[in-house]
Amino acid sequence: MAVVSKTTEYWDGKVLLEAFFAYDDAYTEPRPVVLINHTWAGRDQFVDDKAKKIAELGYVGFAVDMYGKGVMGSNAEQNAKLMQPFIDDRAMLQQRMKAALTAARQLPCVDETQCAAIGFCFGGLCVLDLARTGIDLQGVVSFHGLLGAPGNTQGNIIKAKVLALHGHDDPMGPVEQVVAFEQEMTEAEADWQLHVYGQTMHAFTNPKANDPQFGTVYQPVADSRSWKSLQNFLAELFG
């Protein structure tokens, strides 16, 4: 059979959003769903392609839209302007994530009891924040994500298993932030893992990343290792 891909509209309040999802039509029963969160640029080909790769693994891949249907940045300045409101208002970010999870669970091809979320850069922060709310979720994976705690989830028990995949030389996730993240996850009673890749900077999964001064450099070995870690993690979550 074949991987089928489609788009679907959904709402967060008055904001119209458009996700991209993919699944293998060889499966006739509902499948676990994996939300995929984009970088600060918006829902682009990178995460749409990841949705297809997730579908090839036998799950439903659901590429989340955080900014609104058709809204994307085309340079660093625009990307930062799109992302910053969510950094400043983490409750808004968490609500947007919950809207995406609800939309994914409503797809006919999805087993609503089997859900995970992965994210890249800004998207890593998004999926970690979803877990921090204490929502029922099987697991989340952050790829070179921003790790800083939101400030509104202290005292919550994290039910989702957590896997953070991090470059040791990532200037956006310095060692002290990593240690604080470890402490936060422990205090939240999370089942957490942190994989740190040496000689690896931010955006290590993105073949287009090539800006050492900014701290974003593709690292093919870490990219490959992190994807294998994801596959193992999803197999553990969903059997």
Please report, rounded to a whole number, the percentage of residues in the chain having pLDDT higher than 90. 99
CATH number at residue 78: 3.40.50.1820
Beta-bridged to residue 197, according to DSSP, are: 167
From residue 9, how far is each of 16, 17, 155, 176 by CA, in Å? Answer: 7, 6, 34, 40
Q: Residue 239 has what pLDDT?
A: 85
Sign of the Cα torsion 23, 107, 113, 16 reads positive
* Cα–chain center distance at 136: 16
H or E segment and range at residue 88: helix 76-88
Spatial distance between the Cα atoms of 128 and 178, rounded to a whole number of angstroms: 13
The angle subtended at Cα 35 by Cα 2 and Cα 60, nearest 5°, is 25
Q: How many residues belong to the chain?
A: 239
Show pLDDT as tens, one digit a residue, over the chain (239 residues).
799 999 999 999 999 999 999 999 999 999 999 999 999 999 999 999 999 999 999 999 999 999 999 999 999 999 999 999 999 999 999 999 999 999 999 999 999 999 999 999 999 999 999 999 999 999 999 999 999 999 999 999 999 999 999 999 999 999 999 999 999 999 999 999 999 999 999 999 999 999 999 999 999 999 999 999 999 999 999 98
Give the strand pairing for 161-167 and 139-143: parallel
For residue 43, the enclosing domain spans 3-238
The structural domain count of the chain equals 1
Q: Residue 10 has what pLDDT?
A: 98
DSSP 72: -
- Dig out the tokens for 163 from the structure: 């896997």
Tally helices (H) and strands (E) across the chain.
6, 10
